[in-house]
Structure 1
Amino acid sequence: MISFNLKCSRGHRFEGWFSSSDDYQHQCDKGLVTCPICDDSVISKALMTPNVAAKSNAKAEQAQALTPVPAPATASVPALTPKPAPTPMQHMPTPEQQEAMAEAYRVVRSFQSKVEAECDYVGDKFAEEARKIHYGEVEPRGIYGQSSPDDATALEEEGISIASIPWLPPEN
């Protein structure tokens, strides 16, 4: 397994584990790697510090680790440099943020269920079907599906109201 420090296009940082570098790239290309904070699928590797183990110094490090360290002469001598204050992990959401995200997912999931129950799925024929409804070629009904950004712009320019909504994958 290999661990990568990752970041989304919105600046959130998180860690991901993959079986190989190729596995990471394959999953990213398929859109399977998403930000756990905002669900963004535009992910890149963040700068990381390598963990390098060299055989030449392994025995010296082991011997040094086993060498007893003498106790300080006096316990009252203050350190010359103060320890830096611990910094919060910026990439980890707080419990409040996690609850807010969970609530947002519940709202989106509820809305998604309502759309699925009350509208017809037209897939990538969304723009075509929206035009037919708008121009009275077919009976008006609620539809949902996908369209390209260019098709969405063209629909709006024709005066056809559409809305882009987040769509969550099915729950397991």
Structure 2
Amino acid sequence: MIRYALRCAGGHAFESWFQSADAFDGLAAKGMLSCATCGSTDVSKSLMAPKVGSRQDASETPLEAKIAAFRRKVESEATYVGGRFATEARALHEAAQAEDRRADKAIYGEANAREVRSLLEDGVPIAPLPFMPKAKTN
């Protein structure tokens, strides 16, 4: 496993783990990497120094623990819809507008930048998650 410091075209900095350098290159070439802040798929590696840690570094930080707890909550209470996220989110939004009880369903999945932009423009309430679904992790 390798961790890269990444930066999107919009200047947002973030980190992610990859199985290998080739895994990063393959995902980047297919446009499967995106900025959690703005959704840009124009993502590149940025300069980072290697981390030399101690045994103390092996434990989770408070932020990592909160993200892990949030992930468990989302995965236990919401339905994973994968690449159908944009279609499902739009259908739930339309059901909510019609005051249909089925709109109370919570979902999560993936959407590309164009789909996200369209959902936001149409007033569909969505938000990025601070983690990748297990089906998409390297």
Tell me if both proteins adopt one fold, taking TM over 0.5 as the criterion: yes
Aligned pairs (5 A) from 1:82-93: 91-92=50-51
What is the one-letter code of the residue matched to 2:118? A
Per the alignment, do residues 25 and 167 of structure 1 end up closer, same or farther by CA in structure 2, a change over 3 Å counting?
closer
**1:8 maps to 2:5:** yes
Seq. identity, %: 27
Aligned pairs (5 A) from 1:80-119: 91-92=50-51, 102-119=61-78
How many Å separate the matches in 1 of 2:64 and 2:74? 15
Per the alignment, do residues 160 and 120 of structure 1 end up closer, same or farther by CA in structure 2, a change over 3 Å counting?
same
- Number of matched residues? 101
Deviation at 1:25, TM superposition (A): 4.3
Q: Judge conservation of contact 1:109–1:168 (CA < 8 Å) in 2.
A: no
The structure with the largest helix share of the pair is 2
Deviations 1:56-102 (A, max 9, x none): xxxxxxxxxxxxxxxxxxxxxxxxxxxxxxxxxx653788xx59962
Aligned pairs (5 A) from 1:1-172: 8-9=5-6, 25-30=21-26, 42-43=44-45, 91-92=50-51, 102-136=61-95, 139-140=102-103, 141-167=105-131
TM-score, normalising length: structure 2: 0.56
SS of alignment partner, residue 162 of structure 1:
coil
What is the one-letter code of the residue matched to 1:124? G
What is the one-letter code of the residue matched to 2:45? I
- What residue is the counterpart of 2:36 in the other structure? none
- For structure 1, list consecutive stretches of 5 or more residues without a partner in the other structure: 1-5, 13-23, 32-40, 47-89
Per the alignment, do residues 93 and 111 of structure 1 end up closer, same or farther by CA in structure 2, a change over 3 Å counting?
farther
Query: Higher RCO, 1 or 2 (CA under 8 Å, sep at least 6)?
Result: 2
Root-mean-square deviation (CA), in Å?
Answer: 3.7
Deviation at 1:166, TM superposition (A): 1.7
How many Å separate the matches in 1 of 2:131 and 2:52? 22
Deviation at 1:154, TM superposition (A): 0.4
How many Å separate the matches in 1 of 2:59 and 2:52? 10
Per the alignment, do residues 169 and 106 of structure 1 end up closer, same or farther by CA in structure 2, a change over 3 Å counting?
farther
